[in-house]
Amino acid sequence: MSNVSASEEVALSADAVWKVIGDFSGIRKWAPAVMSETQEDTPEGKVRTLKMPPDGREIKERLAAQEQYSYTYKYVGPHRFLIDHAATVRVVPIDAGKSRIELSTEGTIKPELNAEEVLGNMQKSLGGNLKAMKRALGLA
């Protein structure tokens, strides 16, 4: 199992950060690259469907767990790079005016793929998400 993570401290309270990035069904608040987002409640849980540029490729993700300042989701259907994909968005309170955003992704890299390249792409993706979150928070 491979795990990639990224984190960054921000000069905002956990509550302020969570209002922008903490809605599983509101990813477009901070991810402007997502073309559209829909949500449905299924017997397995809440599922969001994201349409991604440039061709409208669909990604389906199921909310697997949620706490005060974190949620974990799993890919529904085959992932391009991973088997058993799961990702977590978390905000850790540091003090009244500071918190840390933590992002992580884990899964087993498909054996036919170059593991080093996949891990590099995953790290780049998490870094891009952190930048997008900071922009949405007015911190860019």
Tokens of 17: 């950060």
Which pLDDT score is estimated for 1? 87
Which pLDDT score is estimated for 98? 98
Rounded CA-CA distance 59/31 in Å is 14
Length of the chain, in residues: 140
Please tell me whether the peptide bond between 53 and the residue prior to it is cis, using omega within 30 degrees of 0. Answer: no
Are 69 and 98 contacting, i.e. CB atoms less than 8 angstroms apart? no
Would you give the DSSP letter of residue 22? -
**pLDDT per position in the chain (140 positions), as tens?**
899 999 999 999 999 999 999 999 999 999 998 999 999 999 999 999 999 988 889 999 999 999 999 999 999 988 889 999 999 999 999 999 999 999 999 999 999 999 999 999 999 999 999 999 999 999 97
Rounded CA-CA distance 125/80 in Å is 14
**What's the whole-model pTM score?**
0.94
Domains of the chain and CATH, by start: 2-24+61-136 (3.30.530.20)
Which pLDDT score is estimated for 58? 93
Does residue 138 come out as left (phi exceeding 0), alpha (psi in the -120 to 50 range) or beta?
A: left
